[in-house]
Amino acid sequence: MSPQELTPQLGAQKIFDNILLEVVDQAIRDVLGEAAVRFIYNYIEKNFSLRKNDIPVELEVFAEGLEEMLGSGANVIENYILKNLCSHLGSNYQCKKDYRFSDYVRKIEIKFLRSRLKTGSINFEQEELG
């Protein structure tokens, strides 16, 4: 891939990563409150060596940290993140039994990057993620 082709892809990736981090922050804040945001990030950084800005690259580690910390309550946060991420990007979200949190986010990410590179727009065409 040439440098000219790589630059838009990197830009689109950065946009997606920033949107994802904003949605994660807001989901934790909405469900558990402001103090929980800092507490969860500190816990995951201390126990899993994962900094907030690395969450988009290490989704599995983030999900593992949430699950260890919140047990089955992690599913509530994850689903809230997914619904808000899809809503923010103009896509539809449907829960699938065999998908993990990271699978959903990666699928959303791929659709976003393809759409962004194709159209230069943030919004996807309205289609299902499944």
Handedness of CA 62, 96, 122, 117 (dihedral sign): positive
Q: Is the pLDDT of residue 3 over 50?
A: no
pLDDT digits (tens, 9 = 90+) for 26-56: 999 999 999 999 999 999 999 999 999 999 9
pLDDT digits (tens, 9 = 90+) for 50-80: 999 999 999 999 999 999 999 999 999 999 9
d(C-alpha 77, C-alpha 75), whole Å:
5
Are the C-beta atoms of 24 and 55 separated by less than 8 Å? yes
Query: Within 10 Å of residue 38's Cβ, how many Cβ atoms?
Result: 11
Q: What is the DSSP letter of 92?
A: -
Provide CB contacts within 8 A for 130, sequence distance 6+. 94, 96
d(C-alpha 66, C-alpha 37), whole Å:
12
pTM of the model: 0.81
pLDDT digits (tens, 9 = 90+) for 91-127: 877 777 778 999 999 989 998 888 877 766 555 544 4
- Architecture of the structural domain at 3-119: Orthogonal Bundle (1.10)
